[in-house]
Structure 1
Amino acid sequence: MTQPTSSSRKADFRVYLGSTLFFIYILFSTPIVGVLILAAIPLSFELRYRIADIWINYLMFMLKLCCGLSCQVEGLENVPKDRAAVILSKHQSAWETIALRQFISPQTAVLKESLLRIPFGGWGLATLKPIAIDRSAQKEALKMLLEQGTARLKEGLFVLVFPEGTRVAPGDSKKFNAGGAMLAQKSGFPVIPLAHNAGEFWPRNSFLKYPGVIKVKIGPTIEVTGKTAKEINAAAEEWIGNAMTEISAESA
């Protein structure tokens, strides 16, 4: 028996109701937290980050309450406690753009600069030291990733990168882009490979969220000393691919 994909799951009344209630919560809470973060601009980055953390914690609580969706994390012991790292993560859903901050923190992420133009929520996000890039200008985007990513790592922030570049449906994969590996190689900070199956429950471009337990696997750090970016990328891609196979087998 194989794990059902989002397309084969039954969207019953509970799924529609829970997804609607969760959407309403996001719709009303995001502008509020955005305003609070903006009001804290004269104060410290740590305070703004804490405000965002509180919102994320409540968001994950509401996701479980409304949609019956939670997560199980394996490999937390692999997250360095004495230094930051580059997180190279599987990208299937919107879930990981939010939830990973609950167990790897403090963290920033590489994201589309257009997200920062969203009223209130995006404006607040812009104050949290994101690495916002224009994907249409690849050369400039890579330069920004390397410069700002190195600065964030030196400040003690984990940097989240989705090497596939876009959300990929469960069961599919895309060749890893080299940007995250180049950041690790040039900065000297290690890589944390991360796999999950969030797309099975919170599908890309879908309003519906299905009940279940998202499985997250965090791999051992990949040290970068003496390695090329290509070697780092290959090691992360291999580990994540194997971990995704394990997750599928465990969910069968």
Structure 2
Amino acid sequence: MTQPRTSSRQADFRVYLGSTLLFIYIVFSTLIVGVAILGGYFLPFPMRYKIADIWIDCLLFMLKLCCGLSYEVEGLENIPRDQAAIILSKHQSAWETVALRQFISPQTAVLKKSLLQIPFGGWALATLKPIAIDRQNQKEALKMLIDQGIERLQEGLFVVVFPEGTRVAPGAHKKFNAGGSMLAQKSGFPVIPLAHNAGEYWPRNSFLKYPGVIKVKIGPAINSIDKKSKDINAEAEAWINKAMLDIAEEGAKK
């Protein structure tokens, strides 16, 4: 892993106040929406999904209102309209675990099984067809990712995979795991690479959120048919790394 970059942003009163207000909103809104989704357990999946979408829309509105943090997306035309796909995304922050649903939908994501044990929020998440894996059992986790991933793709859901496996600080790099690319190889569905710099504004393991505009770049589809998993992974990793450099250079010019 390369050396992570240290943020030069300074936290002032507005940053502390906005982050506190957002935290309070997240706690209470998650409780309310979690109960609503659980209460609608017997409703069709699209209706439960819509309730979660409303919560995410409101959360991102509050993020902008309280913390001055928004985002812009380049490459939306690369998202397939006629089929699902596997999204291989950079993982820097908690932001992308929710915000990607605003422009890549309907979707599910590969996540830690332990997250489903969180009261209300995790319980509600369990009803939204996540691919929850146990990282302690890698062989079983890979089988679950492929089996459930193919099922979700065939249902028309985009499958979001964070191939680094954990949140990685801006400027750092962690070798991509092969799970997402193996799902692509086995399923024949395309891979869409995605890069962003959310960690610059919503740092990992940080209470504070800084004002600014998160940059998201979505790459062209990578065909997975008749390709080896390692080649799919290498192509996606190369595109994402190049896009991250482009985002950094664009930010330095401002």
Q: Same fold (TM over 0.5)?
A: yes
Taking the aligned partners of 1:62 and 1:41, their CA distance within structure 2 comes to 27
Q: Distance in 2 between matches of 1:120 and 1:244?
A: 35
Distance in 1 between the 2:114 and 2:93 partners? 18
- SS of 1:194's equivalent in the other structure is strand
The alpha carbon displacement at 1:98 in A equals 0.4
Task: Say whether residues 1:71 and 2:71 are aligned partners.
Answer: yes
Question: Aligned partners of 2:36, 2:6: CA distance in 1, in Å?
Answer: 35
Tell me the residue number matched to 1:156.
Answer: 156
Show CA shifts across 1:67-123 (max 9, x none). 000001000000000000000000000000000000000000000011000111100
SS in structure 2 opposite 1:7? Answer: coil
Q: Which amino acid in structure 2 is aligned with residue 71 of structure 1?
A: Y
RMSD: 0.7
What corresponds to 2:124 in structure 1?
124
Q: Deviations over 1:115-159 (max 9, x none)?
A: 000111100000000000000100000000000000000000000
Shift of 1:227: 0.6
Is this contact kept in 2: 1:6–1:203, CA < 8 A? no
TM-score of the pair, normalised by structure 1: 0.98
Report the counterpart of residue 86 of structure 2 in structure 1.
86
Q: Give SS of 1:242's match.
A: helix
Distance 2:202 2:196 in 1: 12
Q: CA deviation at 1:7?
A: 3.3
The AA in structure 1 aligned to 2:223 is E
- 5 Å matches for 1:58-207? 58-207=58-207
Q: Identity across aligned pairs (percent)? A: 77
Deviations 1:13-44 (A, max 9, x none): 00000000000000100011001001111110
Helix, strand or coil for the counterpart of 2:220?
Answer: coil
After TM superposition, the structure 1 = structure 2 runs for residues 20-59 of structure 1, keeping only pairs within 5 Å, are: 20-59=20-59
Q: Give secondary structure in 1 for the equivalent of 2:164.
A: coil
CA contact (8 A) 1:6 1:201 kept: no
Distance of 1:251 and 1:189 partners within structure 2: 33
Show structure 1 runs of 4+ deviating over 4 A: none
Query: Structure 1: which amino acid aligns with 2:99?
Result: A
Query: Structure 1: any 5+ residue segments left out of the alignment?
Result: none
- Distance in 2, matches of 1:243 and 1:79, equals 16
2:202 is paired with a residue whose SS is: coil
Which ranges in structure 2 are unaligned for 5 or more consecutive residues?
Answer: none
Letter in 2 for 1:214: I
Structure 1 counterpart of 2:213: 213
Question: Which SS does the other structure have where 2:170 is aligned?
Answer: coil
Tell me the distance in 2 between the aligned counterparts of 1:6 and 1:194.
23
Secondary structure of 2:17's counterpart equals: helix
SS at match of 1:193: strand
SS at match of 2:7: helix
The Cα shift of 1:6 comes to 6.0
Q: Does 1:232 align with 2:222?
A: no
Q: Does structure 2 conserve the Cα–Cα contact (< 8 Å) formed by 1:6 and 1:199?
A: no
Q: Is the 8 A contact 1:116 1:122 kept in 2?
A: yes
Report the TM-score when normalising by structure 2. 0.97
